[in-house]
Amino acid sequence: MTIPANSPTLRSWIPVAKDSDFPIQNIPFGIASWNGEAPVPATRIGDTVIDLSILADMGLLDGLGHSREAFLAPNLNALMAGGKQGIRALRQRLSELLQEGNATVRDDNATREDALLPLDQVTMHLPVEVGDYTDFYSSREHATNVGSLFRDPANALFPNWLHLPVGYHGRASSLIASGTPIHRPMGQTRPDPQAPPIFGPTKQLDLELEMGFFTFDGKPLGQRISTAEADEHIFGLVLFNDWSARDIQSWEYVPLGPFLAKNFASSMSAWVVTLDALEPFRIPGPVQDPAVLPYLKADDGAFDIALEAALAPEGGEATTICRTNFKHLYWSMAQQLAHHTVNGCNIRRGDLMASGTISGSTPDSFGSMLELTWRGTKPLTLANGEERKFIADGDTLILRGHAQKDGLRIGFGTLSTKVLPVVPFV
């Protein structure tokens, strides 16, 4: 697919560092505020945030099918109403305005001063108001590792796993933006299988290194989205950390799955990177054996996006604990969306679909502490000499992701979350 805004020859009049995640070929979308003003839609070039409401007020974003009010909204949902073509047209217009040869904003000092602000003066917010959130379980390596840890390694995958994208419905109310701290959750655990359960803080707080995608409006209730149609319903991706309390989960999940172990928080990065921006990094997906049922056959492939997780103790430097890749997912986004809707379930603008933990085939590519420390039996050593079996109070978890090819780098920035002590009962 040829998309003009993706041309590797484009350069912006806004300075961009060589290793930046945000060259002019990215044009991500987020929600930003500064100087106490209300949050508004924005994009980013290098370390400069561009207020789209100012550009809209100047009439520079007219004729794209978006109302002026959409550029004043505290989330991206109104802009998403135009679907794939509306966002594509907006991204193209922004690309043209920000190219080095375009003087429209570059030489307009007043507009430039109002619309452009350094990243360090900006507060980022959740980009989308999420109505429904679904978490999948689409990494074969992760599912195999977890099955090996808790069941028979020879039968690590459940019988359904190779036939459908396993998923469950999560909690949208506790989705939080990067930079928002979380408190250690509490719940029931049963450390001694011969004794009654106990109540208290989790002792096995864990990350789940994932990515999530947002949907445009889907079809009416009762209709389905095919794998061939799926891309038209996908807005873009974010980094995602679906926090997990492993000891709470292992006691509570039978028979209906995780509950308190997962609903206390899920963190996402600030910038939505469009599927169009990631198109140059699309690659063939994994061979699926056994063959999938006809409604799941897809040719959307995978995306080569390098991912990493780092852990920084209170007052200490960060240690990279995991390097993996989005391409390791067995089930693609098109297959996830097709399966989600094959029974007639309707999706809505702003729905979030998370990938599930993304693990590779080597121990340093496992996407959770559960796997990295092999359920606490192989502790990690941080740069300051401290050991971790799971995540401690005061730790900050940092996720990063980017795609890179032929000198072009498209990234997501960082997803950072600090863990605070449990909130006591009063």
User: For 13-53, how does the pLDDT look when each residue is reduced to its tens digit (9 = 90+)?
Assistant: 999 999 999 999 999 999 999 999 999 999 999 999 999 99
Based on the fold, state whether residues 120 and 152 are members of the same structural domain: no
Is there a contact between 91 and 98 (Cβ–Cβ < 8 Å)?
A: no
CATH number reported for the structural domain that contains residue 118 in this entry: 2.30.30.230
- Whether residue 203 is contained in a domain is answered as yes
Last residue of a domain, one of 61, 90, 125: 125
Last residue of a domain, one of 70, 104, 125: 125
- Whether residue 372 is contained in a domain is answered as yes
Domain that holds residue 63: 4-125
pLDDT at residue 58 is higher than 80 = yes
Based on the fold, state whether residues 137 and 70 are members of the same structural domain: no
Based on the fold, state whether residues 105 and 153 are members of the same structural domain: no
The model's confidence at residue 381, banded by pLDDT at 50, 70 and 90, is: very high
Based on the fold, state whether residues 202 and 103 are members of the same structural domain: no
The model's confidence at residue 345, banded by pLDDT at 50, 70 and 90, is: very high
Among all residues, which ones are annotated catalytic? 142
Q: Using one digit for the tens of pLDDT, what is the confidence trace for 214-243?
A: 999 999 999 999 999 999 999 999 999 999
Based on the fold, state whether residues 162 and 187 are members of the same structural domain: yes
Based on the fold, state whether residues 172 and 283 are members of the same structural domain: yes
Residues 311-332 have a mean pLDDT of 97
Based on the fold, state whether residues 302 and 330 are members of the same structural domain: yes
Whole-number mean pLDDT of the chain?
97
Q: Using one digit for the tens of pLDDT, what is the confidence trace for 261-277?
A: 999 999 999 999 999 99
Based on the fold, state whether residues 308 and 393 are members of the same structural domain: yes
Based on the fold, state whether residues 209 and 87 are members of the same structural domain: no
CATH number reported for the structural domain that contains residue 157 in this entry: 3.90.850.10
* pLDDT at res. 1: 67
Domain count, the chain: 2
Place of tokens 């989790």: 202
* pLDDT at res. 259: 96
Last residue of a domain, one of 125, 156, 172: 125
Q: What whole-number distance in Å separates Cα of residue 395 and Cα of residue 318?
A: 9
Based on the fold, state whether residues 97 and 172 are members of the same structural domain: no
Q: What whole-number distance in Å separates Cα of residue 325 and Cα of residue 239?
A: 12
Q: Using one digit for the tens of pLDDT, what is the confidence trace for 178-197?
A: 999 999 999 999 999 999 99
Beta strand ranges found along 122-229 (DSSP E):
123-125, 133-136, 167-169, 175-177, 182-183, 186-189, 198-201, 205-206, 209-215
Based on the fold, state whether residues 116 and 188 are members of the same structural domain: no
108 Cβ neighbours under 8 A, 6+ residues apart: none
* pLDDT at res. 264: 98
- Whether residue 202 is contained in a domain is answered as yes
CA-CA-CA-CA torsion sign (82, 84, 87, 88): negative
Q: Using one digit for the tens of pLDDT, what is the confidence trace for 280-291?
A: 999 999 999 999
Based on the fold, state whether residues 274 and 147 are members of the same structural domain: yes
Encoded amino acid at 84, one letter? K
Q: Using one digit for the tens of pLDDT, what is the confidence trace for 64-82?
A: 999 999 999 999 999 999 9
- Whether residue 183 is contained in a domain is answered as yes
